[in-house]
Structure 1
Amino acid sequence: MNTLQTKVATDTWVVASWDEFIQTCEDPAYKKAKCYYRNGEMRIETMGIGPNHASDNTIIIFAVNLLCTIKGIPVKGLTNGSYQKTGVREAQPDISYYIGERSQFAPTGSAIANLDNVAPPDLAIEVADTSLADDLGEKRLLYEELEVREYWVVDVQKALIIAFAIIANNGSRRITESEILPGLQISLLEEALRRSRDEDQTQVGAWLLTQFQQL
């Protein structure tokens, strides 16, 4: 398959070699797409452009950063950062975080984070509008294999967050409270998302500030 001459189906998993995947990702036609690779298949995903998707992305980043600032938790966040295990897998979560002492090990520079040389993030977050089924399915398996510690899926349409703790070599399990951000109830973040539908982000931020100060 010559991906530079053949249009690749987007938003679905397509059988491809690693070289074909890399060639496709480098094609200018997919400059604004997100790229995933797992188990001999690639997914070229069109990025969400709806206002609710963009707003939820902003609210989640603000909330995590605010909580860590208030609690004095070292943190390094990346938006649309790519993580690659050469020849094996690649993921590009909407948001990812290195938390606590591991924040000092977050990748830097302009190249894709090579997991042969750097540790995976503690937290990976996908903001899902039209990609929910895949985020909960194939991509969850991908993040299990990347060995992140937690994986959150934001359901934009329902303003819900499905959160998982990743269990080393044993899959994942649903959680209602973060295990890497102690005391953070997932329901609190969901309430912030719901509020953002009717309130501006300053109002939502003020509400979050009050809630976090009580933790």
Structure 2
Amino acid sequence: MTTATPTDIQTVLATGLPQWKPATWSDYLACRDAETLERIRLFFNRDRLLIDMGSEGINHASVSDLFIMLFGFWFSRFTQQIAASFGRCLLEKANTQAAAPDLVLYIGEGVPQWQQGELRRIDLNRWRVPDLVGEIADTTIATDLDEKKKLYADLGIPEYWVVNIRGRQVIAFRLQESGKYQQCSESVVLAGLPISLLEQTLERLNEGTNITAAVWFSQQIANLKVE
């Protein structure tokens, strides 16, 4: 069995093609600690490692920034709760899992806080898991709906979104008591938010920018009634 090595990082950087490989936690650590870490994203689930590109194309960057703006508009309108976004920050649960989702949202108490001298990662043995994570899928939708979905379910993350850029689609999943995700048409973490409204906001990118789309979203939720 061929396991992942730091050499695989160079292959991904050269081809731009992400790949899952059999791996141990030690293999993951070797890739994580390579000098090229800032150019890649790593995902590890028990015995499988994904090395993915860290740099973003125009479409990916635009949609990723759009959703962070949507979070801001939502919380300014509906709740006084503490909320924090940590998109693409590395999450680690030592020896078992690691991930760097495009979208990472914490709501309420227990938001991770970095202190001087600590590693610049979110240690899931110290901090609770995020309330919501998401992946912006331009060329990675197959793995976003398969192995990454399993990874986030195994971590116990309550809600997971896959944003299909090309299809202008948002596929949202809610974690069930069984430990499996089930697709949902309305967010539970952002209580009362229809997933269809997110898709309509994505459609606005066909005729404007991510900022104009975010402003349109803020106008729509001004009249939205939630329980």
TM-score after normalising by structure 1:
0.91
Q: Is it true that 1:119 corresponds to 2:166 in the alignment?
A: no
Using the alignment, how far apart are the partners of 1:127 and 1:73 within structure 2?
27
Counterparts of 1:90 and 1:168 in 2: how far apart (Å)?
Answer: 22
Looking at structure 1, the residues matched to 70 and 4 of structure 2 have their Cα atoms a distance apart, in angstroms, of: 43
Measure the CA separation in 1 of the matches of 2:212 and 2:129: 34
Give the aligned partner of residue 154 of structure 1. 163
What RMSD, in angstroms, separates the aligned Cα atoms of the two structures?
1.7
Structure 1 CA distance, aligned partners of 2:177 and 2:102? 23
2:145 is equivalent to residue 136 of structure 1? yes
Contact residue 147 and residue 168 of structure 1 kept, 8 A: no
Aligned mates of 1:168, 1:80 — CA distance in 2: 27
Tell me the distance in 2 between the aligned counterparts of 1:182 and 1:29.
39
* Uncovered stretches (5+) of structure 2, i.e. residues with no partner: 13-17
Equivalent in the alignment of 2:208 = 199
Alignment partner, residue 28 of structure 2: 21
| Aligned residue in 2 for 1:108 | 113
Following TM superposition, by how much is the alpha carbon of 1:206 offset from its aligned partner in structure 2, in angstroms? 2.8
TM-aligned CA deviation for residue 90 of structure 1: 0.5
- Deviations 1:9-39, CA, capped at 9 Å, x for gaps: 5411111111111111111234310001013
Q: Secondary structure at the match of 1:22?
A: helix
CA distance 1:67–1:28, change in 2 (3 Å): same
Determine helix, strand or coil for the equivalent of 1:58: helix
Give per-residue Cα distances to partners, 1:71-108, cap 9 Å, x unaligned.
Answer: 12421111212211100011110111111x23xx1212
* TM-score, normalization by structure 2: 0.87
CA displacement at 1:176 relative to structure 2? 0.8
Q: How far, CA to CA, are the matches of 1:66 and 1:182 in structure 2? A: 14
Q: Identical aligned pairs, as a percentage? A: 27
Show the 5 A alignment for 1:151-190: 151-190=160-199
Look up the equivalent residue of 1:142 and give its one-letter code: L
Unaligned runs of 5+ in 1: none
| Residue 85 (structure 2) aligns with | 77
